[in-house]
Amino acid sequence: MNCLILLADGFETVEALQTYDLLKRTHKFDVRLCSVKSTLEVTSSQSVKVTAELLLSDVDPLSFDFLILPGGKIGVENLKNSAEAHKLIRLFLDAGKDVHAICAAPSVLGMLGYLEGLPYTCFPGFELGNGIWQDAGVVETPHIITGRSMGYTMDFAKAIIAHYYGKEAVEAIRPGVEGLR
């Protein structure tokens, strides 16, 4: 499975990079970091500079199976202000592909009308649209998985892994993640 993680300046470091890490550990996902800017260097909300692998302007959406939107208040504002990001999100969801979002990022999906009547979670205060907010760490629907906040990033990533490859794939990475023998 090919996954694209969209990064805008101000993204939440843990939500993007821990999700990236856990998906890569399975050896089942080709995960690519994608800058919504005109440069590959993107700065997180904690001032961590990350070099993305792709520019959004160069992405062939047909080559990716699903999309992940990390949170971070400023990063999400930058996603909300990116017409190219909106176009990509619409392309994915309208084609029946999955888009997963955590923290403030589900508000982008709400703003675009994709949470209409669906259960979801997000960082409290970022509810947007006519979805059904749930007081939960992670909420799953057929094409959208949402996570509440940075503290639920591990659960969010595990839910994504299980969604595509089952709980066995989550269990397979558990020893390396939890330091088990």
CATH code for the domain in which residue 44 is found: 3.40.50.880
- Within a domain: 175: no
Count of the separate structural domains present in the chain: 1
pLDDT grade for 47, boundaries at 50, 70 and 90: very high
d(CA 151, CA 130): 25
Look at residue 181 and tell me if it is in a domain: no
Does a structural domain hold residue 28?
yes
Is the pLDDT reported for residue 107 higher than 90? yes
Nearest to 69 by CA among 151, 140, 7, 157: 7
In a domain, 107, yes or no: yes
Confidence of residue 3 (pLDDT cuts 50, 70, 90): very high
Q: What does the alpha-carbon distance between residue 11 and residue 82 come to, in Å, rounded to a whole number?
A: 14
Q: In terms of residue numbers, what domain contains 82?
A: 2-169
Q: Is residue 160 assigned to a domain?
A: yes
pLDDT digits (tens, 9 = 90+) for 9-40: 999 999 999 999 999 999 999 999 999 999 99
